[in-house]
Structure 1
């Protein structure tokens, strides 16, 4: 029961009493409101002023803009919030005290992660009135909104596990933050770069080996699976299903490779499952790093081996 986790309760009280929390909520929702109202103005009022017809399908683009800004803020905020969760305790020299309590390393990790996710869920729910702008005209259903909120939760767990892992692995919050942002950058842009680079090399090979008159498009096939760990592609896949505005994902499929039909149709499901599995592995690894008995077990095992060798030599 996560609500009974003492670490979670302590972090929740600290967050609720902090002025920074309210400043972040105000800043995020203010930024989303500006983007939403500006997009609404460009789509309707501005089009009428210049004499163009108003297309009510543009409301889907407004939804894409608002959710895109919120998702981008999620990518920026979560690594920063979670990277100092454990390393901050090390710097304050309170981690050893925390480990002497009845809490297991896994409970500490879960408490820190859920506290960070709670902050992101608070931001997501507080932004619902801004996203509800699209309901003034139509085109987006409550089911679409619920799917987006679930994506926010899954991505927060995924990115949060990366920050927690480096926070447990490294001693300084600065180092953990740099490592977390570097990993997120690698997942978001590095996978795109890898897919583009592999396609570029294959295309060069085909252009030199094939007919120069007939253009042949390279197909990198299963290399496209690298994008399953990319949270941006997961977001584009949900847009493709909801508003048909995930053109980037569709162009990737058409230009870079052909995947099995089941993977094309259920990309969101496969990518979500893989990212959750990665998050679980990282959280278990972080708990193992924090385990104070790990070093003692290794020393005891080493002593037993030395004792057996001495007895065998005698």
Structure 2
């Protein structure tokens, strides 16, 4: 924590969050549920199959399921931790006091965001030993696990930034959470639907089969910002080339995802910082 010792908001939020019994109870139940799922899957697979060995293809399937479960966990928990960070302070009438301190708007926003991300990161690290059991049976490379974890952290930060932004812009916590969850549904589900629609429209627009192939920029964009598609390209590297052939654009899905969500994070934090004290002035 040395790098942020000059941010009392972050220090206070970290202490409150990690000293709470609910936090460690949540991590405990998460690890118990994850252990039951992993060992139950291994037990059932080896029992029901003709072979008593856990094969690499079964290990890969387990890893794939855990990756999507982890993604769902991030999409579900992150808005709940960040969407009420500022609006809760406003509802408790403690935001006025916080804004009269010597802390800048960026320090307040960064402290709230970092404390929430730190808890989620702790949750991922706690489950990493169970998550890594698949390496005992083969079928998975360490680079796949590293890439999925890295982009999971990027997704966490991006979603957390959106939650902080809505928490700053919207006065009611429940409305802020609804808006944040709505954005998560859009990025995780609606973008995939738009990708399918854009692909079909492009095919019909080209006319007769065998006609000139044109880059399907819109379809590639929707695929690039969908976290489910990104996980698929990490699990099945051939999927990246398949998407490139489908859209006629030779640009990696992960690169588009990285650029988009990095820009989204910067813009969301910028808006939150700029609007934090503006809302305070309007209230007066």
| Cα offset, 1:219, TM superposition | 6.8
What is the distance in 2 between the residues matched to 1:41 and 1:217?
A: 53
Instruction: Tell me whether 1:14 sits opposite 2:16 in the alignment.
Output: yes
* Greater CA drift, 195-204 or 57-66: 195-204
Partner of 1:221: 216
| Cα offset, 1:182, TM superposition | 0.4
What is the distance in 2 between the residues matched to 1:53 and 1:111?
A: 48
Tell whether the 8 Å contact from 2:164 to 2:272 is kept in structure 1 after alignment. yes
1:35-83 Cα offsets, whole Å, 9 max, x none, are 22233234433212xx698642321221111122112111100011100
What is the distance in 2 between the residues matched to 1:127 and 1:280?
A: 29
* Greater CA drift, 6-15 or 36-45: 36-45
Partner of 2:110: 110
- The equivalent position to 2:229 in structure 1, one of 233, 237, 248, is 233
Partner of 2:248: 258
| Cα offset, 1:271, TM superposition | 1.3
What is the distance in 1 between the residues matched to 2:198 and 2:213?
A: 10
Tell whether the 8 Å contact from 1:121 to 1:153 is kept in structure 2 after alignment. yes
After TM superposition, the score normalised by the length of structure 2 is: 0.87
1:3/1:69 CA distance change after superposition, 3 Å: farther
Tell whether the 8 Å contact from 1:2 to 1:8 is kept in structure 2 after alignment. yes
Partner of 2:82: 82
Partner of 1:44: 46
What is the distance in 2 between the residues matched to 1:99 and 1:291?
A: 8
Instruction: Name the larger-Rg structure.
Output: 1
Structure 1 residue ranges without an equivalent (≥5): 297-314
1:54/1:164 CA distance change after superposition, 3 Å: closer
**C-alpha RMSD of matched pairs (Å):** 2.8
| Cα offset, 1:142, TM superposition | 3.9
1:26/1:281 CA distance change after superposition, 3 Å: same
What is the distance in 2 between the residues matched to 1:105 and 1:181?
A: 25
1:128-154 Cα offsets, whole Å, 9 max, x none, are 121121122233344443333222211
Tell whether the 8 Å contact from 2:9 to 2:108 is kept in structure 1 after alignment. yes
Instruction: Tell me whether 1:278 sits opposite 2:264 in the alignment.
Output: yes
Structure 2 residue ranges without an equivalent (≥5): none
1:178/1:123 CA distance change after superposition, 3 Å: same
What is the distance in 1 between the residues matched to 2:279 and 2:180?
A: 26
| Cα offset, 1:286, TM superposition | 0.5
Partner of 2:168: 168
What is the distance in 1 between the residues matched to 2:12 and 2:53?
A: 55
Partner of 1:97: 97
| Cα offset, 1:277, TM superposition | 1.4
1:95/1:53 CA distance change after superposition, 3 Å: closer
Tell whether the 8 Å contact from 1:165 to 1:285 is kept in structure 2 after alignment. yes
- The equivalent position to 2:275 in structure 1, one of 289, 294, 298, is 289
SS in 1 for 2:129: helix
Aligned positions, number: 279
1:69/1:238 CA distance change after superposition, 3 Å: same
SS in 1 for 2:56: coil
After TM superposition, the score normalised by the length of structure 1 is: 0.79
